[in-house]
Amino acid sequence: MLEVKNFMTKEGQEKGSSKLKNYDIEGLVVLGGDGTFRGANVLSKYGIKTIAIPCTIDNDMGYTDYTIGFFYFSKYCYRRYFKTS
């Protein structure tokens, strides 16, 4: 498991990538937003293949109309609104 606070340092990034390599993990599929994508980008610089899928409630990713998290959040808000109204 990669700890976010440790992954912010070069030492933590090297440790994270070496752990993945020690377990023969050649690549990751990551789901998330901006921070997740930044982390995937760092891992790719250490030779870990990454695929990033946008899943953010902000719906602020380029080159896509909607993100996976946006629909979930919209549905959540809709249900909350009509249950309390």
**Residue appearing with tokens 């380029």:** 62
* Known active-site residue 58: yes
Q: Are 27 and 50 in contact (CB under 8 A)?
A: yes
DSSP secondary structure letter of residue 54 = E
3-state secondary structure (DSSP) of residue 30: strand
Which residue is catalytic, options 24, 34, 58, 65?
A: 58
- Point out the residues that are catalytic: 58
